[in-house]
Structure 1
Amino acid sequence: MGLVLTGKPRPHVTQITLNRPERMNAMAFDVMVPFREALEAASRDNDTRAVVITGAGRGFCSGADLESPGPIPGIEGLTLSTIALRSMELLDDVVRAMRRVHQPVIAAVNGPAIGGGFCLSVAADVRLAADTAVFRAAGINNGLTAAELGLGYLLPRAVGSSRAFEIMLSGRDVDAAEAERIGLVSRVVPGAGLLDASLDLAERIAGFSRPGVELTKRMLWAGLHAGSLDAHMDAEGLGQLFVRLTTQNFEESIKARKENRPPDFQD
């Protein structure tokens, strides 16, 4: 079996699983390269309407693997300093790839999400957590910076600046209950039911209009980047007009309600 598994456990839902449980799904390069490729493939797959990512075994992702990091592609003839730059770029590209996925990405955080694993979870659009999940910005514990792989940008937007500063500077564990309380995850689910709950959510999202879902994802992230309310409202308005005027989805939703049935959006 490969180090990254991909399947479709529900209609129009792709599940991507980090499959190195004996190393708590650590971010070895021979795991992260196929993981990025799986994200890109899911984004290109027109049958996929939502993506769920998770880890095999008892952990989501334990961050960098310092004992068995795996081969780094494309470094022949480079010196140590340039190899370090290429290595960080490769890992950064995993986070960028997740953000570029057209469809919503749901992280089913089934256990510890440590260091870079914390970053991967926060890069997802939605996070559901098992009651055994733990989050830690571990770089600070290792004498390094806790700000890595976009965490210093993403975490304040998820939980607010003061909480993000405290979590990242203290290097402490955030358990599932606290993660739910501060908005780091949207829901905590008993461990045995986490994957089903995540797939249920993905399947519900997959039932809506494709452009409606994809534009909603884009607009939510754009709102976090927007310089002003006015600028963002203009973008939202154009997105709404685009779907309203180029599809019959609105008319179908009205007809479906009158007929007491789920809508069949043809986009």
Structure 2
Amino acid sequence: MTDDFETLQVKWRDDGIVVATLNRPDRLNSMTALMFDEFELLARRITTDFSVRVLVLTGAGRAFCGGYDIDAAGELATLSAMEMLNLQERGSRGLVAIRNLRIPVIAAVNGAAAGGGLSLALAADIRIASPTARFNAAFARIGLSAGDLGASWLLPRLIGPAFAAELAFTGRFVAADEALRLGLVNSISAEGGVVDDALAMATTICGNSPSGVRLSKTALRLNQEIDSYAAAMELENRGQTLLTRTADMPEALAAFREKRPPHFTGS
């Protein structure tokens, strides 16, 4: 597939894994309106390619994502209210498109994830950190709210409301080891190994039923957004019923009985 992105470097691998690298290393991979649009474009392309099983997000150079580009941020106060709302919605569409992908998204956080970069990492399903990874909700430091690009919804659900409030109000950095203790990241890689570890996890995921993984993500994502145990059960029931009508479920049982690896097709 042609890689015609400007702010991303996208590698479409033959094993069902797509690696998208934020590619503005001279600007700490900071976000722009174009990058928001390219998140949407990437999500649309993945959605139409059923061979893609996992997306890995990382950053070029020494940062994951430094948030919204500070040079562009200087112009925000000059925008009209509706112009600013349009920009916010542009950013929201980009991150929602990544979060709502039917496939798992793994953030290989190779350095600082600040402001909107934290929001992007939070939009992933799984976060793996390098030893030099750092996270902060920098918004209040520049006169903005930590209610930005989904951070105020996702962060309390990951680390609890008290720690989320602390990070939002202080804007302090959280190093990789503290992020692991808080539950902000799943694991810390050896130096230089974060992308390899993300690819290894992605490969493990690709060894499972495509349909099973897809509906597992659907259940986990949507059931965060409802407060009813019964409604969660209803969604799960429909997913399990659908999966028993696919070829993968009986194939998995047959492979278990015959002591061989299953051959999943996603159909």
User: Contact 1:27 / 1:62 at 8 angstroms: preserved in 2?
Assistant: yes
1:129 and 2:129 equivalent? yes
Aligned residues: 260
Mapped to 2, the partners of 1:192 and 1:44 lie a distance apart of 32
Q: 1:10 to 1:130 in 2, by over 3 A?
A: farther
Residue 12 of structure 2: aligned partner: 8
- Extract unaligned runs of 5+ from structure 1: 73-78
List aligned pairs for 1:209-248, cutoff 5 A: 209-244=209-244, 246-248=245-247
Q: Per-residue displacement from partner, 1:184-235 (whole Å, max 9, x unpaired)?
A: 1111112311101101111211222222111100100122122221221121
| CA distance in 1: counterparts of 2:72 and 2:230, whole angstroms | 50
Give 1:263's aligned amino acid.
P
Aligned to 2:120: 120
Matches within 5 A, 1:80-229: 80-229=80-229
**Which residue matches 1:76?**
none
Q: Give the secondary-structure state (helix, strand or coil) at the position aligned to 2:64.
A: coil
Instruction: Work out the CA distance in 1 between the residues paired with 2:151 and 2:87.
Output: 17
Supply the distance in 1 between the matched residues of 2:238 and 2:34 (Cα, whole angstroms).
42
Can you list the C-alpha shifts for 1:124-169, whole angstroms capped at 9, x where unaligned?
Answer: 1111111110000000111221221111011111111111111111
Give the whole-Å Cα distance in 2 for the aligned partners of 1:216 and 1:144: 35
Gaps of 5+ in 2: none
Deviation at 1:81? 2.5
Q: Which stretch of the first structure deviates more once superposed, 49-58 or 252-261?
A: 252-261
| Alignment partner, residue 250 of structure 2 | 251
Computed over aligned residues only, the root mean square deviation of the Cα atoms, in angstroms, reads 2.0
Question: Which deviates the most, 220-229 or 12-21?
Answer: 220-229
What are the superposed Cα offsets for residues 56-83 of structure 1, whole Å, 9 maximum, x if unpaired? Answer: 01100000112156x99xxxxxx72222
- Give distance in 1, aligned partners of 2:189 and 2:13: 19
Partner of 1:29: 33
Letter of the 1:249 counterpart = D
